Amino acid sequence: MGTIRLKGSTACGPTEWPYYVQFGELLDPVEMTVVAYIPLEDACSKPGVCLDAPAPNNSEEFAMCCTTVNGEEVCVHGGGCGGTLYFCHDGVCNEDGTVTCFESEQL
């Protein structure tokens, strides 16, 4: 995982340059490092991706990556593929490596 170091109140040195991070978190307040994130689209905002049903007790909140393999849509838990990355508020990882998301009302 790559990190970015906060520069503090001093100007950047001759071999440094500033970065802007819109989404991220402070990783280590002592070392002043941050990790940057990209916002993920809610999977349920895409028609046909989520089931309109209550989520089972073992559902999790996680990212899923969907891509087309041999003409079929395949989704995997996590972001390790070259397809479209979605976020699933209530989902389960199936034994075959696919992901099922459930439509739920977020508070």
pTM of the model: 0.53
pLDDT interval class at 105 (50, 70, 90): low
50, 67, 40, 19: CA torsion to nearest 10: 180
The answer to whether residue 19 scores a pLDDT higher than 50 is yes
Sketch the domain layout of the chain as residue ranges.
Answer: 1-50, 54-106
The reported pLDDT for the residue numbered 107 is 46
The span from the CA of 44 to the CA of 89, in Å, is: 8
Average pLDDT, integer, range 46-72: 82
The span from the CA of 94 to the CA of 88, in Å, is: 14
Q: Are 46 and 40 contacting, i.e. CB atoms less than 8 angstroms apart?
A: no
For residue 43, give the 3-state DSSP assignment: helix
Which residue's structure tokens are 């909140």?
61
Q: Are 90 and 104 contacting, i.e. CB atoms less than 8 angstroms apart?
A: yes
